[in-house]
Structure 1
Amino acid sequence: MSTLIDLNEFGELFKTFEHSAWRLETRRGYASDREDDTYHQFVETGTVTWDLDNDWCRNMRAQTAAGKRVGRVRIVDSPPTTGQLYLLDNAKRNAATGEDMRNLWRADAERLQLPAEDFWIFDSRFIALLRFDEADTLLHVELITEPSEVMRYAQVRDAAVHHSSPYEEFAALVAATGE
């Protein structure tokens, strides 16, 4: 069973999850990032001074301090797109809040037959499937609660985590290869 939820309801999930929140990020870039001042700063300078005291960071620190697990695996092209390099830099901010940030090459994700869709899995009970348009703008979120579908996404999570690298190692590899 699935239900469309609005972006405000989606945002509340990050305050109400009970023990875990995990995301697979598969897009080559996100419109919301390109609209952010930090993206322009990154394009101009190659680095960003991240705000660790915004709403997202405060909430993630509170959630992880309460013992909840938050993580992501980001799929990256070879060579990485500007948007992917931006998110690799952004992983410093996410990790500082307690998130487990990991990366996986797109070729490996394809070999593993991971789906090319972005989603969050909350408490291993429901999926928030993120629906984007061609311009990488988040349009809506589909909440999936069907147990067999949740299990399928949990298997995707397990494979992605198992085959991915911590963002620090991945960033060092990207820097060393000049990708």
Structure 2
Amino acid sequence: MQAYEAFQFLRPIALSEFGEAFDTFTTSAFRLECLTTYLVDEERPFFDSYSRTGSCEEGFNQDWLDFLTTANRKGKSIHRCRILPQPNDDQTYFRFEVDCGYRRNLECGESISYLTRDDASELAAAVPFLLDYWLFDHLNAYAVLYDTRGVFLGAAKMEGELPKIYAALADRAVNIATQIPIEDVLARIR
């Protein structure tokens, strides 16, 4: 399937429908993160503080941490594959994300692995387009749409053959991704 053909199988949805996917999945959730930076309004004060001090403020991402803890208690698995930024990219946001977010996510039961840009190129060859997405229970796939700066634009439910294509991509990503200890990731980007 070519990229121009695949767009017809992306159905824009309300954020409430996207949120329901997090409430109703029963066994597994997978997330692929492709961008170098995400500009999330709720993160802005925490990111600005981290940029100035290099320290993480308490309370960052608490709703997500509570969600992870509850999902883990219910036996649900959540796995994130993050494409590593290029060495010449600005690493500030990624350091913040790893130091203040991923470290705590791991403590609450999320599994996180990393993909190189070469890995990402290999994955991109297998799909109509490589983009951020969530896959729930290996059945329901949602594209998460951002502009070029990393500003969230919305979500779209994948329909037709796309959920199967992106479920296979999730399996492939997990198989080639590297489980790097968080301290090693931080050491590489400091």
TM-score of the two chains, using structure 1 as the length reference = 0.85
Identity among equivalent positions (%) equals: 28
Check if 1:43 corresponds to 2:55.
no
* Counterpart-to-counterpart distance in 2, 1:44 and 1:168: 25
Equivalent in the alignment of 2:163: 150
Check if 1:28 corresponds to 2:36.
yes
Equivalent in the alignment of 1:6: 14
Check if 1:161 corresponds to 2:169.
no
Shift of 1:9: 2.3
Shift of 1:113: 3.0
Equivalent in the alignment of 1:92: 103
Task: Compute the RMSD of aligned alpha carbons.
Answer: 2.4
**Number of corresponding residues:** 176
Shift of 1:96: 1.8
Greater strand percent: which structure?
A: 1
Unaligned runs of 5+ in 2: 1-8
Equivalent in the alignment of 2:6: none
Unaligned runs of 5+ in 1: none
TM-score of the two chains, using structure 2 as the length reference = 0.81
* Counterpart-to-counterpart distance in 1, 2:184 and 2:23: 33
* Counterpart-to-counterpart distance in 1, 2:110 and 2:123: 24
1:36 counterpart SS class: helix
* Counterpart-to-counterpart distance in 1, 2:66 and 2:121: 35
The answer as to whether partners of 1:73 and 1:160 remain within 8 angstroms in 2 is: yes
Q: 1:30 to 1:178 in 2, by over 3 A?
A: closer
Residues 112-153 of structure 1 deviation map (CA, whole Å, 9 limit, x = unaligned): 43653100001111111011123321111111132x311211
